[in-house]
Amino acid sequence: VGQDWLWFGRLTKTDAELQALLSDADTQFFTLTKDGRDEALLELKFTADGTCELAYFGLTPALIGSGAGRYLMNHAIRSAWARPISRFHLHTCTLDSPQALSFYVRSGFTPFKRQVEVADDPRLIDLLDKDAGAHVPTIG
């Protein structure tokens, strides 16, 4: 999940950092499975100040267009608001699927801020395969 969109944030973490994320009682992880393979990822991160971030949400091509995204998002919304939170939010970026922002808006999220973030291309620093995110040109 995410390789086509050049997700690399977790690839920069050490094993200890990843284990800490997986062990965090304030983080929930969900997946959808098709034909015995995990084909989706949902991560909800709850904070002490009463917010929940939809930290990761994605499907592999095996599930895109199947209705699985709506199912998973509905699960995310129910799970988030089942806890005593005052805000449920997410971050997306221009490298995400072209349908992502409109999907999030249809799911009840409201865009409220834009900012520029700069990072090295993960394909050029060996975090992802050179052929990942083929729709995004490389400059190297």
**Predicted pLDDT of residue 88:** 97
Per-residue pLDDT band at 136 (split at 50, 70, 90): confident
Q: What is the pLDDT of residues 81-129, one digit of tens each?
A: 999 999 999 998 777 888 889 999 999 999 988 877 788 888 888 888 8
**pLDDT tens, 6-46?**
788 888 899 999 999 999 999 999 999 999 999 999 999 99
3-state helix, strand, coil in the chain (%, to 5): 25, 20, 55
Taking only the tens place, the pLDDT of each residue in 59-84 is: 998 998 899 999 999 999 999 999 99
Q: In order of start, what are the domains of the chain with their CATH numbers?
A: 3-106 (3.40.630.30)
**Whole-number Å distance between alpha carbons of 39 and 2:** 10
- Pick from 9, 7, 4: which is nearest to 134 by CA? 4
